Amino acid sequence: MKIGVIGCGYWGPKLARNFNEIPTASLEWVSDLNPERLAHMKELYPHVRATQDYDELLRSDVEAIVIATPVSTHSAIAMACLQAGKHVLIEKPLAASVADAELIARMGDEKKLIVMVGHTFQYNPAVCAIRTVIASGELGEIYYINSTRVNLGLFQPDINVVWDLAPHDISILLDILDQEPATVSARGGAYVQREKGLHDVAYLTLNFPSGVLADLRVSWLDPVKIRRITIVGSKKMLVYDDIADPKITIYDKGVDRYPYSDTFEEFTLSYRHGPEMPHHVEWVEPLRVECEHFTSCIATGQRPRSDGWVGVKVVKILEAAQKSLMNGGLREGCRLEQIHS
């Protein structure tokens, strides 16, 4: 399957490497406005054709195009690719607005082309394992989830930290809980790029219809890199640390309350302190799985796990969070009809 990549900055080369290595794809074209980046890509892949004008990819015989450009350009490039009859894999987030995201997803459906969003964590073996654990009922009723995704950099010049880092955790939550939040609130601060008003630290709270509360902390301005999610259930608790080994640990800890008590003296809570057990994960590179899934969906016509409409769901939560961030942290609805109103 002939593949072209538009955008050879930070993430584009990683995608190009995977498509060059997997047997179901052939990396044919790369495009970037920076001639130095193109020269670097030609050094890595001498057989690949390079251009500063991505229209050449649209006129070529590539079947699919990978878009790894700034978020503000996603909509225009994706729509041009779809109009040219090309399948598209678009880096997260899908677009800079719900309206643009919907246009892309709808165009893909109308033209019967694959639209897939690069929510890489949906293809992460650890996240897949967490989804299975939750579905099995081992954790019991999910009470709340706390996520921390922080480090020093990489500062983005055109989007804030919510649009850069939070899509990872939002896509994970949608995937493992199999439900969408009803409301979201956000607060944060802009320090390093204060003149641009670009927040480099933010705290998001997502409220799900089932009662699950999810708190997300994202930051480009933190001394220690942390990638950790804690899930607290009525039976057990789980910690997923993406930069640790083991990545998943399940804790047989909790609090049990007797259903009836006639007096205050009879009211007791039973604290459970059982063992902690590592949960084995068979590791493969998530980006490799994502790229293979993309080519498989094109070949078979199956809908991607992170299709365009999943991308729309993530963008509507981001847009609501952005609105909350600018209005003092008030709760905002996450349903499309609430966004449109």
What pLDDT sits at residue 104?
98
pLDDT tens for residues 26-65? 999 999 999 999 999 999 999 999 999 999 999 999 999 9
* Three-class HEC string of the chain: CEEEEECCCCCHHHHHHHHHHCCCCEEEEEECCCHHHHHHHHHHCCCCEEECCCHHHHHCCCCEEEECCCHHHHHHHHHHHHHCCCEEEEECCCCCCHHHHHHHHHHHHHCCCCEEEECHHHHCHHHHHHHHHHHHCCCCCEEEEEEEEEEECCCCCCCCHHHHHHHHHHHHHHHHHCCCCCEEEEEEECCCCHHHCCCCEEEEEEECCCCCEEEEEEECEEEEEEEEEEEEECCCEEEEECCCCCCEEEEEEEEEECCCCCCHHHCCEEEEEEEEEEECCCCCCHHHHHHHHHHHHHHHCCCCCCEHHHHHHHHHHHHHHHHHHHCCCCCEECCHHHHHC
What pLDDT sits at residue 335?
65
What pLDDT sits at residue 270?
75
pLDDT tens for residues 146-183? 999 999 988 999 999 999 999 999 999 999 999 999 99
Percent of the chain at pLDDT above 70? Answer: 95
What confidence tier does 337 reach under pLDDT thresholds 50, 70, 90? low
Q: What's the pTM value of the predicted model, to 2 decimals?
A: 0.93
The mean pLDDT of 271-284, rounded to a whole number, is: 91
Q: Average pLDDT over the chain, rounded to whole?
A: 94
What confidence tier does 254 reach under pLDDT thresholds 50, 70, 90? confident
